[in-house]
Structure 1
């Protein structure tokens, strides 16, 4: 699996296990905040949404679910729904039509298979998603904090290759 880690450079890495707060608790600390972002990959001329404002809002935080709409120029691109259960975490992607109705291609995602390090959660596509995508390709999504928790990343991979990465600068957070 190829993952460009948030704020990645040779001097930075994602910290290992031993963190005192779970990933979920760390993310809940951002509840009610708007966090500015950018497309890290693809970059350059291939970058989608080039020149557009991108941000994430961490909303509707409960003990079981956190909703995080990603905005591209004042329109919701999709809402990430992070849930937790007895066996780990789920990630769903909620897509809606312009009229607010649920899109046909929505609520895809997966469930973690690795333990919570406090820094990285990986979500291989679940059965529903594989059926919805109707493809033999593999899909994996990741949510990550860099080691000093100044960057939060949303990462998508297809067949082991990075397809999209948004980085959100936590130090730029403002109240919603």
Structure 2
């Protein structure tokens, strides 16, 4: 009887233990694809706007798939010497989330940080779209219509970070996954 009670308590504890959030199959596949690059860095370039007017144009772009866990992938995004940006891809109860973590050189959070949104339902394991959430709209009213897309090319050689605002392309950077730095 004592062993039965102990076994039942153990099963109860295991059942209550926090399990990593379950994503849809396409989101889970996308998450695993990004995580497969953990520990690697890649060079990128601005694709749009192509007129060179973007402040990132002409500067070296680097993404580092720096840390990966069952629930969170952190991808620092460097623009030249500016290392203030990190994309945070996280599994939540609602699904896959993208946030932009901006920090000062001393590591303290920027006034404008942790904006982003939840991935839309999609059948694509290569592309996830993240419309701006309510926090983003409050933090940056002009970004209320933003939609960020993270995409992998079908051949797996390119990672794209895309920003649309008011359904118009505003920014795109592509990173060469075939050539880790």
TM-score by length of 2: 0.80
Matching of residue 143 in structure 1 with residue 143 in structure 2: no
More helix by share: 2
| Residue equivalent to 2:59 | 52
Paired residues for 1:1-176 under 5 Å: 22-115=29-122, 117-135=124-142, 137-174=144-181
Q: Give the match's secondary structure for 1:26.
A: helix
Confirm or deny: 8 A CA contact 2:104 2:110 kept in the other structure: yes
Q: Give the match's secondary structure for 1:171.
A: strand
CA distance in 2, matches of 1:113, 1:89: 9
Confirm or deny: 8 A CA contact 2:65 2:73 kept in the other structure: yes
What do the CA deviations read for 1:38-87 (whole angstroms, capped 9, x no partner)? 01111133243233211100011000000001111132151000011343
Confirm or deny: 8 A CA contact 2:132 2:144 kept in the other structure: no
What value does the CA root-mean-square deviation take over the aligned residues? Answer: 1.8
CA distance in 2, matches of 1:136, 1:40: 21
Larger Rg: 2
Q: Give the match's secondary structure for 2:32.
A: helix
Confirm or deny: 8 A CA contact 2:143 2:165 kept in the other structure: no
Unaligned runs of 5+ in 1: 1-17
TM-score by length of 1: 0.82
